[in-house]
Structure 1
Amino acid sequence: MKKWFAVIGDPIEHSMSPAMHNQWFSEENLDAAYLPIHVLPEQLEDAIKSLEMLGASGWNVTIPHKTAIIPFLDELDTMAKKMGAVNTVVRQADGKLKGYNTDGLGFVRSLEEAIGDTHRDGRVLLIGAGGAARGIAFALQHTGYQTITIANRTVANAEQICQELGSSANAITLKEAEATLGDYDILIQTTPAGLKNGSLQLPFELDQLSTKAIVADIVYNPLMTPFLQAAEQRGATVVTGLGMFVHQGALAFNHWLGQFPNTTSMKESLTEQLGGNNVNR
């Protein structure tokens, strides 16, 4: 029987998850398909019921549902529970829905694939305090990055994550981040800013950015977001969101089907589709 999977979110038009997973299904000779489904926040519960009724084997969850979906799941894996966010749902053999979070580990794998693992003692600035930021923050700490600052428009949201991370993390305003950018070795932009068909406004100006900084964005479409373009113009090393996208997808693929797909060829293929020459630069 043909398996099928999906990605749900709002917006969803920009997502390249269908192209990625359908290519992997073809490469692995699997009889499966993957669909994009636009789900508004108020439709989330009905959408989950529909996915179950129509026999979906699993699905990915993107903005803005990563936290909101949790009450509708039967079980969370340890990391998803700790992060308070889900980006992958598996429909188990008994019909129960189990949530996972592959964003954080996918990001760390992408970051260290680009810059190596010698920067773990550096100062990290996370911009944003949503579901993706939570996942990345916990994965960074778990991997060995200990000095983490989270900047967000609503500081209380950043403070909540920092309290869970422990004494090595602290929360600041976006204005404070803008004024102290030179203090950070790694900047990670986790908000939807720069998303294709979305807002192109920068979270703040990068005038104080160090030329030695490493700047990453989790948005991958467009490949070079306004944030990355501004950082590159100031001499920083930039890491696009495509690596995170591919690695988190590979981890989801593994949760669904018990095997890992080819990530190297996928990054090359998607980079070409997005009109870029280099994934990181």
Structure 2
Amino acid sequence: MSTLSLGLIGFPIQHSLSPWIHNHFMKKLGINGEYVLYETKKEHFAATIDRLKEKQLNGFNVTVPYKQDIINYLDELDPDAARIGAVNTVTQINGKWKGYNTDGMGYVQSVRDYYPDLFQPKNRVLILGAGGAARGIYRALVQEPFSIVDIANRTFEKAQQLAELKDDHVETNILSFEEAQLRLEDYDYVVQTTSVGMNKEETIISLDNLKKGAVVSDIVYQPLMTSFLKEAHSNYGKIHQGHAMLLYQAQLAFQIWSGKQFGLGDTLKLMEERLRGNE
């Protein structure tokens, strides 16, 4: 039976679901191991990295605020992670560290499993926000068949930087949140990538103009039903909840570490029950 030594570095992370998720995967696959939280303040980041190298971990996850900082400590980067400029998964191979970004790929796969017919050139996509989470998601979406993937953000410059990640077949227009709200009926798929919504009463834009039947996704996973998703549902939208992204990106990371392919089975349902218990 194989053994894995894994962990997560970030700040703050004490309430992270990652230990539960990865311990569940290990149990599911009959793998012995541990998944440890390395909560680290900015001034201790370099020292924590030295500790991780001494521990000879099989791999670890990286979360805010270190997804870009970690790159300087890696020996190799997956090409897509290099282009995104952020790493959330590190694996150790023969003493060398290689970085990946599974956020975008995991997110897209989670949406595809729910709404496989969505991924067509005719469908227009709107991403709300242009921060760190948006980078992996945008990069993954522009590799899909969509011909239009627009970005709405408070600052034009940050959205423009994000649009530089696009592929040639994709058109990207940059909007303010006010413009996005007015033009919402143009979109078949809307992705909310900001932290707005962790407060149950907040939404990034109004969804009064939502196209009937549009897919609306929120990457915030606590609460499970954000105000944004509730409003989408009341305006006849199809919803996609944030915990799915968290689970699917973790699945890809675990496959990198373990070399094993596996399905999620009832894991998503178990995760929903756990999150509802925390609300």
Give me the TM-score of the superposition, normalised by structure 2. 0.90
Superposition deviation, residue 199 in structure 1 = 7.8
**Contact 2:212/2:235 (CA < 8 Å) preserved in 1?**
yes
CA displacement, residues 88-119 of structure 1 (integer Å, 9 cap, x when unaligned): 011221x2211101111111111111111344
**Contact 1:127/1:187 (CA < 8 Å) preserved in 2?**
yes
Q: Distance in 1 between matches of 2:9 and 2:222?
A: 17
Alignment of 1:55-204 (within 5 A): 55-93=56-94, 95-121=95-121, 122-165=123-166, 166=168, 168-195=171-198, 201-204=202-205
- Cα gap change, 1:85 to 1:117, in 2 (>3 Å): farther
- 1:16 and 2:17 aligned: yes
CA displacement, residues 66-89 of structure 1 (integer Å, 9 cap, x when unaligned): 223222222110111121111101
The residue type equivalent to 1:204 in the other structure is I
- Cα gap change, 1:88 to 1:24, in 2 (>3 Å): same
**Contact 1:24/1:261 (CA < 8 Å) preserved in 2?**
no
Aligned to 1:279: none
SS at match of 2:265: helix
Superposition deviation, residue 254 in structure 1 = 0.9
Q: Distance in 1 between matches of 2:26 and 2:178?
A: 45
Q: Distance in 1 between matches of 2:77 and 2:200?
A: 32
Identity in percent: 39
Aligned to 1:39: 40
**Contact 2:84/2:165 (CA < 8 Å) preserved in 1?**
no
Superposition deviation, residue 120 in structure 1 = 2.3
SS at match of 1:275: helix
Structure 2: segments with no counterpart, 5+ residues? none
Q: Distance in 2 between matches of 1:199 and 1:66?
A: 26
Q: Distance in 2 between matches of 1:54 and 1:206?
A: 49
Q: Distance in 2 between matches of 1:205 and 1:243?
A: 23
CA displacement, residues 188-215 of structure 1 (integer Å, 9 cap, x when unaligned): 11112223xx685322222222232110
The residue type equivalent to 2:59 in the other structure is G
**Contact 2:187/2:214 (CA < 8 Å) preserved in 1?**
yes
Give me the TM-score of the superposition, normalised by structure 1. 0.89
The residue type equivalent to 2:116 in the other structure is G
Alignment of 1:234-273 (within 5 A): 234-273=235-274
**Contact 2:200/2:227 (CA < 8 Å) preserved in 1?**
no
Superposition deviation, residue 62 in structure 1 = 1.9
Q: Distance in 2 between matches of 1:117 and 1:44?
A: 43
- Cα gap change, 1:44 to 1:146, in 2 (>3 Å): farther
SS at match of 2:126: strand
| Cα RMSD for the two superposed structures | 2.1
**Contact 1:44/1:69 (CA < 8 Å) preserved in 2?**
no
